[in-house]
Amino acid sequence: MSSTAIREPGTSLSTDELLNVSDLSVEFSTRRESVQAVNGVSFSLQKGEVLCIIGESGSGKSVTMRSLMRLLPESRTHIGGNITLDGQDVLAMRNRQLTAMRGSKVSMIFQEPMTALDPVYSIGDQIAEGVMRHLGKTRKEATARALELLELVRVPSPERRLRAYPHELSGGLRQRAMIAVALSCAPKLLLADEPTTALDATVQIQVLILLKKLQEEMGMGIIFVTHDLGVAAQIADKVAVMYAGRLVEYGLARDILLNPRHPYTIGMLNSTVRGQDRSVDIEAIPGNPPDLRNLPPGCAFAPRCGFALEQCSAAQPEPAARPDAGYARCIRLDETAKVAERHPIKA
């Protein structure tokens, strides 16, 4: 839907820009050690655009999302860089501005619908809570709005579900209820942290289609965190691939998924089932993700990478332009391009 070109972040602030993140770094520190969970991450999001952040567990996807809303525990976290949301500097916000922003301008859907809803309040109460807080509605108006929202997220017999408690609903309905909570104040940006991972395969698709549809109707931007490339292909306009706290490849979804250039993205796509012949073995990426407390000085993927040269481990590779609008943090893009040509990715 969007034909926005990928720009290097921070270049120009177009009026359609919803979110600009530049050089974001997140460090968790305890008395004994510190962990660099996110390192030099930059991306931007236009109004109504869907960005998918893809990566393994522990690659910093969720931390990036939480830092956008400043949900991480303040005392043990240090966030560096810049986050500009709708023209406002998020990192400079005071508590009151933060609570005003959370839920109204940005809201979040969580992975586990079982635990992300409060068990002692009814679904209607929980949706109404944010409506009353941010839009200053009375309980009656907020309840009417909650009903409207349950209809919007296609919950069957919404009048009855309004009074239901989370444990009385199935996983898919709970996730829909959570989406209703997140959408209650018509946010401009929706952060979705693996919202379909905990659901059954059939329900996953339904929720995904619903999200896409709502996104088009409401024109909001979505940042969608997932490790499922199929999900990314379904919903994303742009894709950012994360590895060990850095964006290793960034570009339009079509470009990245059909023509991956970073060895990690290539490896990830090769290890995905996409209707290959049964006799074809699925290639796994060898090795394990690195320890974030102890990152190598160079490219964090180098120890697992088939293309790695000596200088890969020497210094962090700078983003290199892809043939299209995106970039990949790799010094051997020419080599990877040859491989990608020999084994074209089937759509």
Partner 1 sequence: MTTEIGPVAARRADAVTPAYKPKGYWHTVAERLSDDKATIVFLTIIILAILSAVFAPIIAPHDPYATSMIARLKPIGTESYLLGTDELGRDMLSRLLYGGRMSLAMGILPVLFAVGIGGLLGVLAGFAGGVTNTLIMRTMDVFYAFPSVLLAVAISGTMGGGAASGLLALTLVFIPSLCRIAETATTQIRSLDFVEAARATGASSLSIISRHIIGNVLPPVFIYASSLVSVSILLAAGLSFLGLGVEPPTPDWGQMLSNLRQAIYIQPLVCALPGIAIFIVSLSFNLVSDGLRHAMDVKS
Shortest separation between residue 325's beta carbon and partner 1, angstroms = 32
Please choose, out of 91-99, 244-252, 259-267, 324-332, the segment that lies near partner 1 by the rule CB under 8 A: 91-99
Site membership for partner 1, residue 185 (CB under 8 A): yes
Encoded tokens for 62: 């969720």
CA distances from 268 to 57, 256, 274, 304 (A): 13, 12, 12, 12
One residue of 42, 107, 196, 204 binding partner 1 per CB under 8 A: 107
Smallest Cα–Cα separation from 267: which of 306, 299, 236? 306
Site membership for partner 1, residue 110 (CB under 8 A): yes
One residue of 35, 46, 77, 121 binding partner 1 per CB under 8 A: 121
Site membership for partner 1, residue 178 (CB under 8 A): yes
Site membership for partner 1, residue 100 (CB under 8 A): yes
Q: Would you give the distance in Å from CA 36 to the centre of its chain?
A: 19
User: Whole-angstrom Cα distance, residue 168 to residue 313?
Assistant: 53
Site membership for partner 1, residue 338 (CB under 8 A): no
Site membership for partner 1, residue 180 (CB under 8 A): no
Query: Which residues ranging from 52 to 71 are in contact with partner 1 (CB under 8 A)?
Result: 69, 71
Shortest separation between residue 117's beta carbon and partner 1, angstroms = 6
Long-range contacts of 263-268 (CB under 8 A, 24+ apart): 263/301, 263/305, 263/306, 263/307, 263/330, 263/332, 263/336, 264/301, 264/305, 265/241, 265/328, 266/336, 266/339, 266/340, 267/304, 268/54, 268/229, 268/241
Nearer to partner 1, 9 or 124 (CB): 124
Helix (H, G, I), strand (E, B) or coil at 248: strand
Shortest separation between residue 1's beta carbon and partner 1, angstroms = 18
User: Whole-angstrom Cα distance, residue 97 to residue 15?
Assistant: 22
Nearer to partner 1, 45 or 220 (CB): 220
Longest dimension (CA), the chain: 66
Helix (H, G, I), strand (E, B) or coil at 223: strand
Site membership for partner 1, residue 137 (CB under 8 A): yes
Residues 272, 277, 282, CA angle at the centre, nearest 5°? Answer: 35
User: Whole-angstrom Cα distance, residue 26 to residue 78?
Assistant: 6
Q: If binding means CB under 8 A, how many residues of this protein chain bind partner 1?
A: 52
Site membership for partner 1, residue 154 (CB under 8 A): no
Q: Mark residues 202-231: x for contact with partner 1 by CB under 8 A, - for none.
A: ---------------xx-------------
Site membership for partner 1, residue 93 (CB under 8 A): no
Ranges of H-type helices in 72-192: 95-101, 123-135, 139-152, 158-162, 171-183
**Contact present, 211 and 223 (Cβ < 8 Å):** no
Tokens 């929980």, located at residue: 126
Shortest separation between residue 155's beta carbon and partner 1, angstroms = 14
Site membership for partner 1, residue 152 (CB under 8 A): yes
One residue of 60, 130, 260, 290 binding partner 1 per CB under 8 A: 130
User: Whole-angstrom Cα distance, residue 276 to residue 80?
Assistant: 43
Please choose, out of 51-59, 144-152, 309-317, 318-326, the segment that lies near partner 1 by the rule CB under 8 A: 144-152
One residue of 31, 32, 94, 167 binding partner 1 per CB under 8 A: 167
Encoded tokens for 191: 């952060």
Site membership for partner 1, residue 145 (CB under 8 A): yes
| Residues of the shown chain interacting with partner 1 in the complex, contacts defined by CB under 8 A | 69, 71, 95, 98-104, 107-108, 110, 112, 115-122, 124-125, 129-130, 133-135, 137, 140-141, 143-145, 147-148, 152, 159, 162-163, 165, 167, 178, 181-186, 217-218
